[in-house]
Structure 1
Amino acid sequence: MPIESGSLHYAVGPIIAVAVVVLLGAFLRWAFGGDSRRPRRPAQPADDGLLTKIATLSRRESALALRAVLSDAGIRSTLRSPGPDRTTILVFPEDAPRARELAATFTPPEN
């Protein structure tokens, strides 16, 4: 059966296809999209493993200086930067009391 020249039957198929794609996109956004009204879960604290936190300093240079003081005293230590302007010094538990004493008497260098 021939299609009349003034008929819009040729446009029905693409319109249905576009409608299906739009509805599918809306459903997927609803099903897998994040809920902006729900508060986000705060970040989990990092696992320090066997290490103990002895100090948190705002400047990395100060933390490196304290780490040098601990190293001179024979205490092994490491640094962790959990965020900007925040550096944590970690030591093994058997060295923690002595490291805390040294950290309490430590004065950060001036720039």
Structure 2
Amino acid sequence: MSPVAGTHYLAGPVIAFTVIAGLALFLRWAFRSDPRRRPPADDGLLTRVATMTGRDSALALRAVLSDAGIRSTVRFPGPHRAEVLVFPEDAPRARALAAGFPST
């Protein structure tokens, strides 16, 4: 047996490794994290009706909404910022109540 004839058993694993490495590089390129492609913050099923500057005012608005029979929640995305969220079917009424509410 010559040395060249004995190396044919390496061809299969070398080809398989090359295909897997190429696929890995392609997937890494295709699914890389790009800040420009990130979706905006997801509110899920809720709709933002007001952005407040204080925690107390957001909680007070939530109490007013609760008295009106509107379910709501408050999210605090950053310091000195609170967002009041409601379900979409309640959004028009909630916005009307929030329009006359002080934001600070």
Q: What TM bracket, shorter-length normalisation?
A: 0.5 to 0.7
Q: Distance in 2 between matches of 1:49 and 1:102?
A: 22
Superposed, 1:47-86 pairs within 5 Å as 47-86=42-81
TM-score of the two chains, using structure 2 as the length reference: 0.61
Identity of aligned residues (%): 69
Q: CA deviation at 1:45?
A: 3.3
The runs of 5 or more residues in structure 1 that have no matched partner are 1-39
Q: Distance in 2 between matches of 1:44 and 1:108?
A: 28
Runs of 4+ residues over 3 Å off in structure 1:
40-45
The runs of 5 or more residues in structure 2 that have no matched partner are 1-33
Q: Deviations over 1:31-56 (max 9, x none)?
A: xxxxxxxxx93785321111000000
How many matched pairs? Answer: 70
Higher Cα Rg: structure 1 or 2?
Answer: 1
TM-score of the two chains, using structure 1 as the length reference: 0.57
**Structure number with higher helix proportion:** 2
What is the aligned partner in structure 1 of residue 12 from structure 2? none
Secondary structure at the residue paired with 1:45? coil
